[in-house]
Structure 1
């Protein structure tokens, strides 16, 4: 139905996360309509990102340098490390501008069903960062999925001998959320994590 080159573009776009066949079709047709100059700019941006983006040697977030901007910033609190699953989680924290410590990106979560065990994650590197007296607290900021919870439990046991404080992100009712839409587990955790106001 479509020319071969356009069909190939749609196939490649549909391989991207969150883009199904219909979205791939819309994007491809949009790019063709915009013309070769827009397509060239997009292609150059994709190639530059693929060629220049690498993992920070300290925290494994994304960077164009050996150290990312967070790890290279001497003004950050080096006594606290927030452990996250993926680089996008770092960006979520940084958008909030409330965390001033460092990060450690695991590169995923323990998921035996997907063939991901502790050896596929950056756990040894995390333990290396805990040697010495600099780090005082590790915040486990994995997701509240079954895999995220299992990874946090595993990490807590792994980190405990290092003698640092270990904390977990609080979970509960979202700001602006109605209680009748909150599931039972979330509501239970919100009750467990409640705090005194007076």
Structure 2
């Protein structure tokens, strides 16, 4: 179907976003066309400002508008415990829980030989430097429970082992409210591995 060039470019822009297919992109484009001009300008300004004003913390790699980030500057947090995550969104998820009071290290990806991503392509070298410079007692590996996340966790644990720093892995298994009959074999296996006394 033919769309005028400005709409076509807008649709193309929306299709570049993850999870947005052609039909949703068309709906979003026409929704934007029906918005008030001030709202559209505010939306565009928010996009540009987020891109322009955000950076990665030079210490932990989390997204921030100040360097170092607020978490790294917080002197109340336990600097002897570092939680390693794959993505800035993982930090936000952990912070919503309000249970973890340590620091973070964001890898910005996971090791994936199939995609040509090695340890040097993600934030592993910076993590190793932090462990040499800071007094860390525990490293919590909170990478995703998939092949890439597991490979990354194993690689980091082998690198860190000679230093004597305690290295732990977050537990995996059945979610609350889940049914055994719907769980796959890997999830059940991880749930059995992570069992504890009650």
TM-score tier by shorter-chain length is: over 0.9
* Aligned equivalent of 1:7: 8
Q: Per-residue deviation at 1:25?
A: 1.0
Q: CA deviation at 1:35?
A: 2.9
| Deviating 4+ runs (over 6 angstroms) | none
Question: In 2, distance between residues paired with 1:68 and 1:21?
Answer: 37
Find the counterpart in structure 1 of residue 141 from structure 2: 140
Name 2:42's counterpart in structure 1.
Answer: 41
Partner residue in 2 for 1:107: 108
What residue in structure 2 maps to residue 76 of structure 1?
A: 77
SS state of the match for residue 130, structure 1?
helix
Cα distance in 1, alignment partners of residues 170 and 134 from structure 2: 23
Contact 2:119 2:125 in 1 (8 A): no
The residue aligned with 2:51 is 50
- Equivalent position of 2:176 in the other structure: 175
Residue matched to 1:96: 97
Structure 1 residues 10, 193: CA separation in 2 closer, same or farther (over 3 Å shift)?
Answer: same
Structure 2 length normalisation: TM-score? 0.96
Task: Please tell me whether residue 187 in structure 1 is matched to residue 177 in structure 2.
Answer: no
Q: CA deviation at 1:161?
A: 1.7
Deviation of 1:26 after TM superposition, in Å, equals: 1.1
TM-score, length-scaled by structure 1:
0.96
Gap change, CA 1:102 and 1:110, over 3 Å in 2: same
How big is the shift at 1:130?
A: 1.1
Superposed CA deviations along residues 97-125 of structure 1, whole A, max 9, x for unmatched, are 11110000011001122221111111121
Which residue does 2:124 correspond to in 1? Answer: 123
Answer yes or no: is 1:86 the counterpart of 2:91: no
Alignment partners' CA distance in 1, 2:128 and 2:194: 28
3-state secondary structure, aligned to 2:78:
coil
1:158-197: CA deviations, max 9, x gaps? Answer: 1112210000010011011111111111111111111101
5+ long unaligned stretches in structure 2? none
